[in-house]
Amino acid sequence: MATSPRKPLFVLAVVALLAALALGGYAVVRARAAGGGAAQTPAIVPTASPSAAATAAPRYERWLVGKATAPVVVRTRPSPDAAVKTRLSVRNQNGYPSLVLVDDVRQAGGATWYLVKVAMRPNGSRGWVREGTLALYTTAARIVIDLSERRLRTYRRNELVGEYPVAVGRPGLETPTGEYFINQKLRPPRPGGPYGALAIGISAFQPKLAHWEQGGPVAIHGTNEPWLIGKAVSHGCVRMRDKDVLAVGRTVPAGSPVFIEE
């Protein structure tokens, strides 16, 4: 079981490059459950603070998250002439702010471009976004899921802050391994339903369920069958006890990386 990400994004150079960017603060947004049409409990999404200033680099890993402030065009190369890979609205199909996780920053053609991870098929998709449509903030939290141990661990500033048993994908529909990020947090309209008290969406998709609604996205969510925790029974999602998933939701901000490993 790894206690640190395999390919962490060190944003120290990014912070230096973007010294004028505002970091920190929080804003409350409303989300809607997929297909439910019911208003959800407000979810917390970190946003940039206009008056904040860059500070000295900390001694722990941080990741840079982008939140769409206008329609976002994701391109295959850092050029306005490059092919369009996908487009993101300010809010996704569930009404949650569209988020990306920044992998790299580059100057090209007199502009700043961000290489970002995007919640789309195939898993691990990335593309380039030109400055101007993203508000940036940092996170020092991450989730690490060990499928063989069926454990989920949360970290903040490199320190373990929580450890929980989980249920994972069953044989043939295994939870996909890889490096993802939290792209939404939704409170289901029926807390006693199969998604429990909270669904933490991540940028992964179940490869074998592309025909499912919204393409078969993977989530970390609660359950109304807590006796199955610790088993391989899901279609790829990671199930937790309601009290545990609520604790994770409080600890790890939206946009934070999620590492799923065997």
- Secondary structure of residue 259 in the 3-state scheme: strand
Question: Cα(228)–Cα(236) distance, rounded to whole angstroms?
Answer: 14
86 is catalytic: no
**3-state SS, residue 141:** strand
Which residue has 């063989």 as its token pair?
148
End-to-end Cα separation, the chain, in angstroms: 8
Q: Which of 68, 166, 237, 240 is catalytic?
A: 237
- Of 32, 117, 221, 241, the catalytic one is 221
* Class of residue 74 by CB neighbours under 10 A (exposed 0-12, middle 13-18, buried 19+): buried
Q: CB-based burial of residue 107 (10 Å sphere; 0-12 exposed, 13-18 middle, 19+ buried)?
A: exposed
Q: d(Cα 211, Cα 188) in Å, to the nearest integer?
A: 22
235 is catalytic: no
Rounded Cα distance, 175 and 24, in Å: 32
In the chain, at which residue ranges do the beta strands (DSSP E only) sit? 26-29, 43-46, 63-68, 72-75, 84-88, 99-108, 111-117, 126-130, 134-139, 141-146, 151-156, 159-165, 168-169, 178-186, 199-205, 217-221, 232-234, 238-239, 257-261
Question: Hey, which residues are catalytic here?
Answer: 221, 237
